[in-house]
Amino acid sequence: MTRNIKEIDWNKVGLTILPYLAIIITIFLMIRYQLLNRAVILTSDAFLHFQRFYDTSMQIKTGNYSYFQTNFGFSHSGRVFNAVYSPFLSYLGGLLLLCVHNWFNFQVAVIFIVLLIGGLGMYRLALKAKVNKLVAILLAMTYLQFGLVVGILRFNFMAWGAALAPFAMIQAWYMIEDKQRPIHWISKYSQ
């Protein structure tokens, strides 16, 4: 059944979109320097992860898969790295690298994704804790500024842990709140 556009409560739509728009604008403001200067943040961890993502992207591109050896990255040394250090995320990173074509786009995409997950998670956690929506938005924006920046700037996987931490806390909240059924396999994140 289609609704007439005049029947839609646009104020309600705007208030629903506002938190997500505020988080996206905050993320854009955080990465605007990198976007404007087309700069890649390079650290010791970044080189390590770039090598493993390059290796998996080349495995996907050529169809020559090797779960244990890194035959394309790390100077074709055959190091056993991805098998120990998150092979699933390595292949996701390699696929993303193939899609975006270069390191700058890859790094911006990863930073945006991590910050978006962290911001949305903190916003949903604040709502779960029955915090006012405006305060929840401010908490999410503050969390982006202080909770995730350290890991992002070092381009290591601490940022992924910080981004996913609010979702883990939501599950802990369910365990405390629901005495009859403390484990929720499928969570309802709507309020």
**Mean pLDDT per 10-residue interval, the chain, length 191 residues:** 69 86 95 91 78 90 86 75 81 94 92 93 94 95 78 70 90 83 65 45
In a domain, 18, yes or no: no
Domain count for the chain, please give it: 1
In a domain, 186, yes or no: yes
- Give residue for tokens 């409560």: 9
Domain around 160: 104-191
Could you give the maximum distance between any two Cα atoms of the chain, in Å? 64
**What is the C-alpha to C-alpha distance for residues 53 and 102, in angstroms, rounded to an integer?**
11
Count Cβ neighbours within 10 Å for each residue of 170-191 and write b for 16 or more, e otherwise.
beeebeeeeeeeeeeeeeeeee
Is residue 155 in a domain? Answer: yes
Task: Examine residue 80 and state whether it is found in any structural domain, yes or no.
Answer: no
The answer to whether position 183 is within a domain reads yes
39 φψ region: left (φ > 0), alpha (ψ -120 to 50), beta (else): beta
Q: Is residue 2 part of a domain?
A: no
pLDDT at 153: 60
Whether residue 177 lies inside any domain: the answer is yes
pTM of the model: 0.84
Residues 6+ apart with CB under 8 A from 95: 56, 57, 60
Instruction: Report if residue 64 sits inside a domain.
Output: no
DSSP reduced 3-state for 30 = helix
**Inter-residue contact 82 to 55 (CB < 8 Å):** yes
